[in-house]
Structure 1
């Protein structure tokens, strides 16, 4: 009986320690019109996907923080991309997305997830929510998912900077802790 309990405990720990695998992501950038694909990035690159939209007020509250993080990690092995799970819906056209001047000026792709396949694959539910993807021996996997920090209303009142901490951990070759946090924001409207 003790042996069975040990086996079950070992199985559960192994299952929980394994990060969610991510298949190759291929989405069109609304700003450049080019296809963004994870397969085109070197394996040493960590990719930050920020799920956002044009109409969510929470997304607007985080714009400056995303820009600061992008600039802080420029030159490291970190790539940023915005992902719009509402692309093609009312108020979320390609033209409207392409007009997001701060992303355009920084060269951050604004990816259109029109069929919501990537959104479903990652189980993202809120805007903004971050998915941090890193490569390993078995391919790309999610190493952090959740909130950017712990205060959506005020960047100066945020006391825990989840995404920044996760990126520092990854660049130091450590596993981010925590690996999952609860994002606060607008609900993603999944289509059929």
Structure 2
């Protein structure tokens, strides 16, 4: 318990050192159009087309980055989810930190970290701004109709020893099984490092 409180205290301290942005509730809304270049393959990815494939149950959009220690703590867990659910979900990892990171650096980091799924840049932080993403990592699960059905963190603890709620995995499982996700588990504030939006031109 003491260790868990200490871990949460560190997250709170981190949160107070970044610029606070308002929490935007978006479950039930349509996710913005996603047309990006996969940095790992060079191929163009149009999410609306991917969602029409018969085997696809939905998509997971995760805003993440290179320099955030919270995002780094989740690398293995993110990859585990891709391995488990990748046959039925499109996983897209978007870097919206275009105020401080580059596409080349993001590509190199993703390769070194062994990313699966689509690795892309949110040019001008446009998608993050439109949907209201504020931290890394922050996840959005979208059903085949393009509607947001889950928004929040991957789970409830940066330290895997103290996980009590597999939030993202439960959201994906609900789409696979058709079992409705409890309303109180559909949307909550993600925790991590503030997204450094690209400056408006």
Question: Partner of 2:144: helix, strand, or coil?
Answer: strand
Structure 1 residue 101 and structure 2 residue 101: aligned?
A: no
Seen in structure 2, the aligned counterparts of structure 1 residues 102 and 70 have a Cα distance that, compared at 3 Å, is farther
Question: Partner of 1:32: helix, strand, or coil?
Answer: coil
Partner of 2:74: 62
Question: Partner of 1:67: helix, strand, or coil?
Answer: helix
Compare CA radii of gyration and give the structure with the larger one: 1
Deviation at 1:18, TM superposition (A): 7.2
Partner of 1:170: 175
Which of 31, 36, 42 does residue 40 from structure 2 map onto? 31
Partner of 2:58: 46
Aligned length: 169
TM-score (structure 1 length as normaliser): 0.79
Structure 1 residue 82 and structure 2 residue 114: aligned?
A: no
Deviation at 1:23, TM superposition (A): 3.7
Partner of 1:7: none
Partner Cα distance (1:120, 1:93) in 2: 18
Partner of 2:149: 143
Deviation at 1:82, TM superposition (A): 0.5
TM-score (structure 2 length as normaliser): 0.76
Deviation at 1:106, TM superposition (A): 5.0
Structure 2: give runs of 5+ residues left out of the alignment.
Answer: 1-24
Structure with bigger RCO (C-alpha 8 Å, 6+ apart): 2
Whether the 8 Å contact between 1:86 and 1:114 is mirrored in structure 2 is no
Structure 1 residue 185 and structure 2 residue 192: aligned?
A: yes
Partner Cα distance (1:98, 1:70) in 2: 18
Over aligned residue pairs, what C-alpha RMSD do you find? 2.1
Q: Deviations over 1:103-150 (max 9, x none)?
A: 6x45321110021121122211110000111123xxx11110011000
